[in-house]
Structure 1
Amino acid sequence: MSALTSVARDIFGRVTEIHHLTALLLGAAVRRRELSPVEVLDYYLSRIEALNPQVGAYSHVPVDRAREQARRAEKILGETEDRASLPPLFGVPVPVKGLNMVNGLPTTFGSLAFDDLVGFADDHIVTLLEQSGNPHLGLTSTPEFGLPCYTENGVSAPARTPWDLSRSAGGSSGGAAAAVSSGLAPVAQGSDGGGSIRIPASVCGLFGFKPSRGRVSQGPVMPDLFGLSASGPLARTVGDAAALLDVLTGHLPGDLYRAPAAPWSHAEAAARPPGRLRIARWAEPIVPGAVVHPDVMAAYEDASALLDGLGHEIVDVPPIGGPELVPIFETLWAAMSTASPVPPEREHLLMPLSRWLRERGARITATELLRAHADLQTAVRAALAVSDAYDALLTPTLAEPPAAIGYFHDQEPAENFERQKRFTPFTALSNVSGQPSMSVPLHWTEDDLPIGVMLSGRIGEDHVLISLAAQIEQAHPWIQRRPSIW
């Protein structure tokens, strides 16, 4: 690629490298034929080749497949008279998390036990991205079966936050966050069953959005039988995230959950003011033993002051939900760990944490699992009766700043799991309830480590959170903050 095609113009008209552009600006440049999908893809492939060994963002990059899709997008551009009618992110390459199946690609789910598995179908989100003209940039790294809140496994290198390469990019969408934060992808798809989009968003300085339960199809290959997980975007801007969420939104016959229809698209919501909102806040963890770090409290207080200055009503409330929810979630998490059909002769290839969780899950009786679901529904009804009185709920995203590589992974399974619980005492509540939730990158420590704050909303009101996030971003923009790897 020539030097001329490695640059473009940013929102201010300044010449800049392609990876400095937002995904929406890239899409606009592609539609205007200032950049071609092939040029954009090749640019990102070059950055991945140079930097992925440092950050561990990708487990597999299908170069030939991606170039074929980029050439197809280029052909469509040439045949389309009204290019403005194409999707906003048309021609922009997007990676998919390694927990999703892609037909014909290695599908390890982050596990050595599946190191010989090749995808035999496309998950719905993969189909939607291809239909929207987004070349498949690669499979991003994930921990084994997406179970931990960090991304270290036996399949690929650890995913690291580019703000400090000695620290984890979080999980389980750690590879996706590392890719976007390092400029190895314009935007990325992730999934979140207990915080797995918002955790890496916080430690990588990104905007991460977990939509309402049933907003995005989890099928057909890997349906979420427990109702905890949701696919969503990781992005550098709210507008980019909203545009990608519009691509991912959709249903298949047989989906177990469907979120209420929104009054407008997520992209439209990002352009609309949210009005004056009533926002409840608390920072007391429900996980016993969890302690909120002073830098996290500073981020939380700064966000509260910002929201107050924007005219919103801020109300201090006790935590919505309590320690009684923790063992319920643990039961479901252990049961969920058994969902992957690992052949008995390959169990020894699993990570110690996975084996430990699966052993716990195997001991759960049908009666205990049904009781956990019943207790969960009782708790959710009580919690929603309180939380629905507010337009949004503000908490820290995590209890601590980004953790060092090995902080969790190098421990015995029981200690590993306890450390994860104390690190992430806030995120799982919205997975249990099905509420939309987002991590917003508003704070950096004196050591230049990102700290996210979390806002959750009413079920089905994803558009309200997107509108609020866009307002926050306009008042306190973060796009110019970049790690030194840029």
Structure 2
Amino acid sequence: MNQEELAFTPALEQAQLIRSKQVSPVELVELYLKRIERLDSQLGSYFTVSADLALADAKIKTEYLAKSGDSSELPAFFGVPISVKDLNSVAGVPCSYGTAALRSQVAAHDDNVVTKIKQAGFTILGKTATAQLGTMPYTEPQGFPPARNPWNLDYTPGGSSGGAAAAVAAGLSPIAQGSDGGGSIRGPAQCCGIVGLKPSRGRISSAPVGDYQSGIATSGPLTRTVADAAAFLDVVSGYVTGDPYWLPKPETSFLAATQDRLDSLRIAFSTTLAPVGDTAPICAKAVLDTVQLLEEMGHSVSEGCPDFDGLIEPFTVVWQAGVGASGVPPELLEPMNRWLLEHSYPAGQYLRAVAQMQIISRRIVGFFENFDVLVLPVYMYPTIRVGEWANLTPEETMHKVIQWVAPCPAFNATGQPAIAIPAGFDSVGMPVGVQLIGRPAAETTILALAAQIEAAKPWREHRPAFGQQS
């Protein structure tokens, strides 16, 4: 296997190569560090590259393998590189939250998801680019180079996990941790033609920090394959003492679910989203092509969608409060976030918005009493260009954001699991995806269905030309 093929090899397969001693952790880390050094000045997918820490960790793991003949007890991802979004703390590594003035602020602790990542055997390459405080669906924070899409550098990789998605798509990391509070994993997954899983509320603990936004946000993976996303969820999920939300473990592992033979599922779909309207034709085609394939597989498919009416306003109130809850001083905020802070709502109105969001969420979840899965577009139209909205007023930007990301936030409100998967390309060659939404806590169902689609129409060999050796 040549170096380029190895860079695009899925994480689980890399773990097996390490176990069989066909490749060492040091070789993998060096491979990605070289690619990052060669390519990321154009891509902007990393804020911080922890080369020394990553190499030191990889050397310890390589030496352990050399001394031990038994690899059966190794953690699932022993020696596999990973990136962490720069909204989560990694001890000893800067954590800026996309705020240029904080770029040298070194974290004193690991967030729980990072602790679980380390326990799973991963080696952390560095921190990936994010929109400031994770608020925007593009990754262009002031004081940093904009993150760009490896399929076409003129376009955004999405946001706020834009750096994470770009790194995976460009072969600068085999797997990435991201977070999703309104589509921030699923949107970048679509933009970059990879897999993005938003788990159920309570599946992954946010310890040791609290819940700032009434449970709308969660960590999750961005990967090249469904199996990698499932295996990541296996190793990072679980209750931590004091969590405000938690879920029981599934009867079987999430990875095992990707091998399940599914009975016929009741699947709904829609290409229209009230009150926003019809999705762009190419995004609608992705949905229709997917449901046609599902029907051919024997699933029961019918058109239908929950009623999202009334959700935009309360969700926006809750989401917008995250800027103030961050504690970042107003003078360090970029203009869009400063505007969001200035237009935030008092506590009483926030609590009324939470109550209204929960009432509407009950109605949305009720739709799933008659369906196992809902297929929707990820976003209402394809990827935008870098800087496309840079000259808009904050009010105009908010309107654009709401219109673009409309299919995503409802399931942050309800806490349901959703997975974005590739579903083709638009007329200019940019990826388009669909999302599969499951019942509460039913990740196993959507992972099994996504794996079934992946087996029928594989996407892992679709790679951007960027960074490939000629």
Preserved CA contact (<8 Å) 1:41 1:67? yes
Q: Pick from 364, 367, 370: which aligns with 2:348?
A: 367
Report the counterpart of residue 412 of structure 1 in structure 2: 393
Q: 1:159 to 1:293 in 2, by over 3 A?
A: same
Are 1:353 and 2:336 an aligned pair? Answer: yes
Preserved CA contact (<8 Å) 2:269 2:287? no
Q: 1:76 to 1:274 in 2, by over 3 A?
A: farther
Report the counterpart of residue 234 of structure 2 in structure 1: 246
Q: Pick from 172, 196, 199: which aligns with 1:211?
A: 199
CA distance in 2: counterparts of 1:49 and 1:155, whole angstroms: 20
TM-score by length of 2: 0.96
C-alpha RMSD of matched pairs (Å): 1.5
Are 1:456 and 2:437 an aligned pair? Answer: yes
Query: Which structure 2 residues correspond to residues 281-292 of structure 1 after superposition, within 5 A?
Result: 281-288=269-276, 291-292=278-279
Alpha-carbon offset, residue 447 of structure 1: 2.3
Preserved CA contact (<8 Å) 1:98 1:140? yes
Give the letter aligned to residue 296 of structure 1. Answer: C
CA distance in 1: counterparts of 2:52 and 2:298, whole angstroms: 51
CA distance in 1: counterparts of 2:455 and 2:116, whole angstroms: 30
Are 1:432 and 2:413 an aligned pair? Answer: yes
Q: 1:263 to 1:408 in 2, by over 3 A?
A: farther
Are 1:169 and 2:152 an aligned pair? Answer: no
Give the letter aligned to residue 367 of structure 1. Answer: G
Preserved CA contact (<8 Å) 2:193 2:422? yes
Same amino acid, percent of matched pairs: 39
Q: 1:301 to 1:72 in 2, by over 3 A?
A: same
CA distance in 2: counterparts of 1:115 and 1:69, whole angstroms: 23
Report the counterpart of residue 65 of structure 1 in structure 2: 53
Are 1:126 and 2:114 an aligned pair? Answer: yes
User: 164-173 vs 22-31, which deviates more?
Assistant: 22-31
Preserved CA contact (<8 Å) 2:212 2:325? no
Q: 1:178 to 1:425 in 2, by over 3 A?
A: same
CA distance in 1: counterparts of 2:221 and 2:371, whole angstroms: 25
Q: Pick from 190, 197, 215: which aligns with 2:185?
A: 197
CA distance in 2: counterparts of 1:309 and 1:260, whole angstroms: 34
Q: Provide structure 1 residue ranges, at least 5 long, that are not aligned to the other structure.
A: 1-5, 9-15
Q: Deviations over 1:333-388 (max 9, x none)?
A: 12122111123xxx233111100111111xx2222111111111111112211223
Q: Deviations over 1:129-182 (max 9, x none)?
A: 112211111100001000011101024211111111100000110000000000
Secondary structure of the corresponding residue to residue 90 of structure 1: coil
Preserved CA contact (<8 Å) 1:437 1:454? yes
Alpha-carbon offset, residue 222 of structure 1: 5.7
Preserved CA contact (<8 Å) 1:181 1:205? yes
Preserved CA contact (<8 Å) 1:123 1:222? no
Give the letter aligned to residue 2 of structure 2. Answer: V
Q: Deviations over 1:279-338 (max 9, x none)?
A: 1111212344x5521111111111111111111111111x31323100011110121221
Report the counterpart of residue 147 of structure 1 in structure 2: 135
Alpha-carbon offset, residue 225 of structure 1: 4.3
CA distance in 2: counterparts of 1:72 and 1:300, whole angstroms: 46
TM-score by length of 1: 0.93
CA distance in 1: counterparts of 2:262 and 2:212, whole angstroms: 31
CA distance in 1: counterparts of 2:58 and 2:104, whole angstroms: 28
Secondary structure of the corresponding residue to residue 84 of structure 2: strand
Report the counterpart of residue 316 of structure 1 in structure 2: 303
Are 1:185 and 2:168 an aligned pair? Answer: no
Report the counterpart of residue 321 of structure 2 in structure 1: 335
User: 373-382 vs 33-42, which deviates more?
Assistant: 373-382
Q: Provide structure 2 residue ranges, at least 5 long, that are not aligned to the other structure.
A: none
User: 256-265 vs 172-181, which deviates more?
Assistant: 256-265
Report the counterpart of residue 291 of structure 2 in structure 1: 304
Preserved CA contact (<8 Å) 2:76 2:121? no
Preserved CA contact (<8 Å) 1:152 1:409? no
